[in-house]
Amino acid sequence: MDGNGRWAKARGLSRTLGHKEGVKRVVEMLREAKKLGIKIVTVFAFSSENWSRSGKEVNKIFSYMRIFLDLYKQELLKQGVRLNMIGRRDRIDEGSMKKLQEIEVATANNEALLFNVALDYGGRWDIVQAAKKIAKDYKTKKISTDGINEAVFSNYLSLRDLPDPDLMIRTSGEERVSNFLIWNLAYSELYFCPKHWPDFDKKELAKAIDVYSKRKRRFGKV
């Protein structure tokens, strides 16, 4: 979800107002995804690298996230959305973590749509934390060297045994993966939309899915 800051700047607004608008789009996208029968949505809400922004901006991002969680908790429950946070849990402020965990627990049995929110997430961090867990399990003899393969390794990553993403959408015209789910995106179709995230509406989502549906996925075969 890229381009909140540029969207705001282009309108003479503060960057933080771009994040406020961006949060609204997340809710709309979730409603739309559910309508379209999409089962899993993963958003890159805050990267490990985003800590380098000003304290004011970081605080605002988390404050809008908390407001989002308060406002939409009931809707998430009603719509059967399950919230799952992926990323480091030890650097985010206590208030935000408490709210996130509370909603994870409240929505744990929902099955209509899985909503993964990547917060303080980095794809390389994910691979390293998986390697550390494997090393621990090796030490306690839960796993052997020969027991490590791609499927087993995947299970130690944040998204565990979930299917790999079919489609990755990045907005704002940047054409990079920027340390998102680097392992899981190995065979995903990439779609880059020139619009900034606050301008990404259901028409844009439909366009992305239309483009995706015309792609030929070969997974290395001919």
Distance between CA atoms of 142 and 99, rounded to whole angstroms?
Answer: 34
Residue with tokens 């880059």: 192
Counting residues that bind ligand IPE (by CB under 6 A) gives 11
Rounded to a whole number, what is the distance in angstroms from the first to the last CA of the chain? 33
122 binds ligand IPE (CB under 6 A): no
Please give the Cα distance from 176 to 192 (Å, whole number): 9
Nearest approach in angstroms of CB 5 to ligand IPE is 3
Q: Is 190 left (phi over 0), alpha (psi -120 to 50) or beta?
A: beta
| 41 forms part of the interface with ligand IPE (CB under 6 A) | no
Name the residue with the smallest CB distance to ligand IPE. 5
User: Would you count residue 50 as binding ligand IPE (CB under 6 A)?
Assistant: yes
Q: Which of residues 171-210 bind ligand IPE (CB under 6 A)?
A: 172, 197
CA distances from 18 to 69, 77, 88 (A): 18, 27, 24
The stretch among 1-9, 82-90, 138-146, 179-187 that binds ligand IPE (CB under 6 A) is 1-9
Cβ at position 155, least distance to ligand IPE in Å? 28
Cβ atoms of residues 79 and 30 within 8 Å: yes
- Which residue, 52 or 109, has its beta carbon nearer to ligand IPE? 52
Q: Which C-beta is closer to ligand IPE: that of 3 or that of 87?
A: 3
Active site residue 2: yes
Residues 4, 188: Cα–Cα separation, whole Å: 24
Residues near ligand IPE (CB under 6 A) are 1-6, 46, 50, 61, 172, 197
Which parts of this chain interact with Mg ion (CB under 5 A)? 2
